[in-house]
């Protein structure tokens, strides 16, 4: 399962958050963005429960992360 995670980050902490996210095994890609969100990450997991654990245990606790929005992908 793949998801796009849109992330709001405290001002001045974007580079630190992106560096920390790159260390998470399930994060396939993370980039700083311009617009309503400060970064977007592509996260892969075996199922939705595992994705929730990644978000709650690895991404949201990173200092500077203020808010996340998860968009699940659907193959057609």
Q: Cα dist. 38→22, 34, 53 in Å?
A: 15, 6, 22
Question: How many domains in the chain?
Answer: 1
Q: Are the beta carbons of 65 and 18 closer than 8 angstroms?
A: no
- Residue range of the domain that includes 60: 2-69
For 33-61, write each residue's pLDDT tens digit: 999 999 999 999 999 999 999 999 999 99
With 0.75 as the threshold, say if the pTM is over it.
yes
What CATH number does the domain containing 22 carry? Answer: 3.30.70.920
Q: Is residue 50 part of a domain?
A: yes
Q: Is residue 25 part of a domain?
A: yes
């Amino acid at each position: 399962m793949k998801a796009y995670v849109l992330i709001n980050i405290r001002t001045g902490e974007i580079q630190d958050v992106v560096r920390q996210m790159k260390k998470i095994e399930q994060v396939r890609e993370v980039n700083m963005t311009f617009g309503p969100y400060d970064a977007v990450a592509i996260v892969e997991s075996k199922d939705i429960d595992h994705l929730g654990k990644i978000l709650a245990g690895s991404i949201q606790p990173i200092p500077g992360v203020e808010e996340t929005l998860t968009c699940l992908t659907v193959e057609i």
